[in-house]
Amino acid sequence: MATATHRVDRDHEHIAEIVLTGPGHGNAMGPDFWTEFRLSVEALSAEADLRCLIVRGDGKNFCFGLDLAATGQQLGPLLAEGAVGRNRIVSEATSMQQAFNALAHSRLPVIVAVHGWCIGAGLELCAAADFRIASADARFALREVKVGIVPDLGGIQRLPFLIGEGWTRLLALTGDEMDAAQAAKVGLLTEIFADADQLLTGARTLAQRLAANPPLVVAAIKKVMNDRMEASVNAGNHAAAVQNGMLMQSEDFAEAMRAFMERREPKFQGR
């Protein structure tokens, strides 16, 4: 199974691996990603013989996050449409959220194996998984604040359950990076490996341990734990989408996009 944005590998009868491939630089997530990823997760979850899912990145990094150039081309025309455009932006965000909701709601336990950079939407994907492990060179950041938008794919809803309110606010409000050692210290990661090769071996070993357990019970435990935070995640996702519907028509968002394309620091005016 292969798509424009990822492929599915199988090296064990009960385990599948979704490998992020782009086509954006650093496996960045473009417009096609959200439907393709959701459909793959749903199809794999429906396979009776599968018992665990690994998500990893191809190449030198896990994921650079949202492909801003490609997404900008998709959403750009909506920014001049006033209230109609705002509603359509909220609708697009809600649709995109379903990709990571599918991962969180899957009956399969999900392991995310991170090497290199994990930025923005990449970190929000991680937050929707059950286990996060990484190589020592992994770096994590929520960069949305730097480009004039709210993280609206579940990250700032799910991360407080993983690392607490304070660390989530630090990541979301500063846009600063966190290295693998700090990520493990605050509870984002459960294990760190020396390099990408050892990371993949570790992910597959953990997957085999999970696959050895009774799959109906594993799915039930995951559902019960997810139900604790479901209402909070849903409410936060809706709020984030609505906020971005307004913010993406601001002067600061336009400045952020210009600065990104011109490779310079933005100058925000609060308008």
Q: Could you report the per-residue pLDDT of 18-48, keeping only the tens digit for each? A: 999 988 899 999 999 999 999 999 999 999 9
Q: Residue 2 pairs with which residues in a beta bridge?
A: 7
Which residue numbers are catalytic? 124, 144
3-state secondary structure of 223: helix
Report pLDDT digits (tens) over 162-199: 999 999 999 999 999 999 999 999 999 999 999 999 99
Query: Which two structure tokens, joined as six digits, stand for 255?
Result: 């400045």
The domain 6-197+211-262 is classified under which CATH number: 3.40.50.300, 3.30.390.50, 3.10.129.10, 3.90.226.10?
A: 3.90.226.10
pLDDT at 261 over 90: no
Looking at residues 110-130, what average pLDDT do you find?
A: 98
* Cα angle 27-123-172, degrees, rounded to a multiple of 5: 130
Average pLDDT over residues 49-62: 97
pLDDT band at 122 (very low <50, low <70, confident <90, very high): very high
| Predicted structure pTM score | 0.93
- Centre a 10 Å sphere on the Cβ of residue 221 and count the other Cβ atoms it contains: 13
Give pLDDT, residue 1: 59
Which of 26-30, 46-50, 58-62, 265-269 is predicted least confidently?
Answer: 265-269
3-state DSSP helix/strand/coil % of the chain, to nearest 5: 55, 15, 30
C-alpha torsion 55→61→67→68, nearest 10: 140
Task: Say yes or no to pLDDT of 112 above 90.
Answer: yes
Residues 229-257 have a mean pLDDT of 90
Q: Which residues pair with 249 in a beta bridge?
A: none
Domain ranges of the chain: 6-197+211-262
- Torsion on CA atoms 254, 258, 259, 263, rounded to nearest 10: 160
Question: How many H-runs (helices) and E-runs (strands) does the chain carry?
Answer: 11, 9
Distance between CA atoms of residues 56 and 200, nearest Å? 8
Average pLDDT, the chain: 93
Parallel, antiparallel, or unpaired for β 177-179 and 139-141? antiparallel
101-105, 207-211, 253-257: range with lowest mean pLDDT: 253-257
Half-sphere exposure (Cβ direction) of 194: Cα atoms closer than 13 Å: 2
Report pLDDT digits (tens) over 146-160: 989 999 999 999 999
User: How many Cβ atoms from other residues are within 10 Å of residue 256's Cβ?
Assistant: 23
> What's the Rg (C-alpha) of the chain?
18
User: Model confidence over 219-232: pLDDT tens digits?
Assistant: 999 999 999 999 99
Q: Which residue has the higher pLDDT, 4 or 249?
A: 4
